[in-house]
Amino acid sequence: MKIGLFFGSFNPIHKSHLEIAKSMIQWKKLDEIWFVVTPQNPQKDPSILAPNENRIKMVELAVQQYKKFRVEKIELELPTPNYTVNTMEALINRDPENKFFLIIGADNFENLDSWKNPERILEISNILVYPRGSSQINGSRLFLTDKRIEFIQAPLLNDSSSNIRKSIEESNKVNEINDLPKEVKLYIESQELYRSQ
């Protein structure tokens, strides 16, 4: 199968993540998108993360109505910090019959040359890049002409999980945040996530 790997902290997952995933399915005719929940991104502050089990549950709730979407928890079994190349190697070893496509935003693509072993990532997968906020697809010039990298016409991802967390912390009104799926809103309310202390 052709599998799109959408890595993220998903802290929390929001509607824009789902729109990107739907665009990737249509554009590349992928069989499935796997949302790879990252316990600890080496480039992010771990203190801002909701617990792993909460983030996994939010992704499960957000994707439950989509037949081609699933949650992938492999990074919970791997040493931290979680490096994409290590996770992809583990997935290939576990599921060698699949062809993997790494899905990243333009902001991450700009920094691809700072990732751990990006050349190996390109050896074992293709990379699909979607537009993200104000990021321009002009970074990582080392990789701009690589035929294994495709720039996808997907919705512009402007909303961010950090803005959503800030809104919840400041207002404590989860129900007013339009970019959260209904099930995720209810879960955040029930678990009292992202509230100011």
CA distances (Å), 28 to each of 25, 66, 126, 184, in order?
A: 6, 17, 11, 28
Phi/psi at 148 (nearest 5 deg)? -85, 0
Over residues 93-120, mean pLDDT = 92
Q: What is the pTM of this model?
A: 0.89
Contacts of 166 (CB under 8 A, 6+ apart): none
The confidence band for 181, taking pLDDT boundaries of 50, 70 and 90, is very high
Name the token pair of 131: 């537009």
CATH of domain 2-158: 3.40.50.620
Please tell me which of 86-90, 130-134, 146-150 the model is most confident about, judged by mean pLDDT. Answer: 86-90
Dihedral angle over CA of 13, 19, 21, 26, nearest 10: 170
- pLDDT score for 78: 94
The conformation of residue 33, written as its DSSP 8-state character, comes to E
Highest mean pLDDT among 50-59, 159-168, 169-178: 50-59
Q: Residue 113: its pLDDT value, please?
A: 87
pLDDT digits (tens, 9 = 90+) for 17-41: 999 999 999 888 899 999 999 997 6
